[in-house]
Amino acid sequence: MQVQIDSLREVNSAQASQLKEISDFMSVVSEGLDSIAAQEEQLTGNGKGVEGRKMTKEELRTRLDAFAALLERQRNRIAQLEDTLSKRGQSMTNLRNIINHLNHELDEKNRTIAALQMSLNVKMWTFSG
């Protein structure tokens, strides 16, 4: 009887650990998405900065660079979490699907940043020429 109780406690402990890991993962993902959404809003809002005035091209370039850096940090965090899951040998298909989706979203945002940076460079070159 004691062996069964110990076995159930061990299983319960393992499941609690997995649940905490999933919760931590989702918390990190949620924080990252909130940060990305806030940065994206500043960039695509209406061309106005936090102060309510129109952003200069240099301010826009600085914000684009900051946004690109944020996306890279989030990509690194996701990679670390994915590595942690892999090392634990757990087959958490749903989490892997979420990770794949997030990586896809980050790729989309990176393409958007590249297009905005190219557009900004063309406008700056045209303006100075």
Confidence of residue 71 (pLDDT cuts 50, 70, 90): confident
Determine contact, residues 79/33, Cβ cutoff 8 Å. no
Tell me which residue of 55, 15, 32, 26 sits closest to 106, measured CA to CA. 32
Domain-embedded: residue 90: yes
Report the C-alpha gap between 107 and 10 in whole angstroms. 40
Domain-embedded: residue 31: yes
DSSP string, 111-125: HHHHHHHHHHHHHHH
Candidate ranges 18-22, 68-72, 83-87, 99-103; pick with highest mean pLDDT: 68-72
Tell me how many domains the chain contains.
Answer: 1
Domain-embedded: residue 98: yes
Domain-embedded: residue 76: yes
Confidence of residue 90 (pLDDT cuts 50, 70, 90): low
Range of the domain at 43: 25-128
Domain-embedded: residue 109: yes
Give helix then strand counts, H and E, for the chain.
3, 0
Q: What percent of the chain has pLDDT over 90?
A: 0
pLDDT digits (tens, 9 = 90+) for 25-45: 778 777 877 777 777 777 766
